[in-house]
Amino acid sequence: MQRTLIHIRTVLAEIELPDGNGQPLAFSIGYYKTNAQKGSKPAVKKGGLAGVGGLSTAGPEGRSAFRYKVKEKGTLQLVDCATGQPFALKINLLTEYNGRRILHG
């Protein structure tokens, strides 16, 4: 069975959407690690919010830290829902979002 595709721009837009209470939505993510091994996490949330993993809320010139990291650094700041630990992933190494294969380019 063929998995559906989702464009990286759509993934990045959906990650920004809050739930009904204004909190970040949880999602699953698949990726390649920098050593070329596959990795995945079943439940993560966007990081870069006040009080989430100690990540800063402000980037340069008052922009949100999350948007700054995504646009300027090509990095997603995320928090593992199971452990509460923050971690970062390079956008170009993402392979799956909520079970759908990510299309880059």
Predicted pLDDT at 38: 97
Count of domains for the chain: 1
> For each of the chain's 105 residues, which pLDDT tens digit applies?
567 999 999 999 999 888 889 889 999 999 999 899 999 999 999 986 443 444 444 445 554 555 555 656 788 889 999 999 999 999 999 999 999 999 998
Residues contacting residue 83 through CB under 8 Å, at least 6 positions apart? none
**Alpha-carbon dihedral sign for residues 81, 82, 84, 88:** negative
Domain of 51, in residue numbers: 5-103
Predicted pLDDT at 73: 75
- What's the pTM value of the predicted model, to 2 decimals? 0.77
Predicted pLDDT at 84: 93
> The tokens 């990286």 sit on which residue?
8
Q: Which residue spans within the chain are E strands per DSSP?
A: 5-7, 27-32, 38-46, 75-80, 86-90, 94-97, 100-103
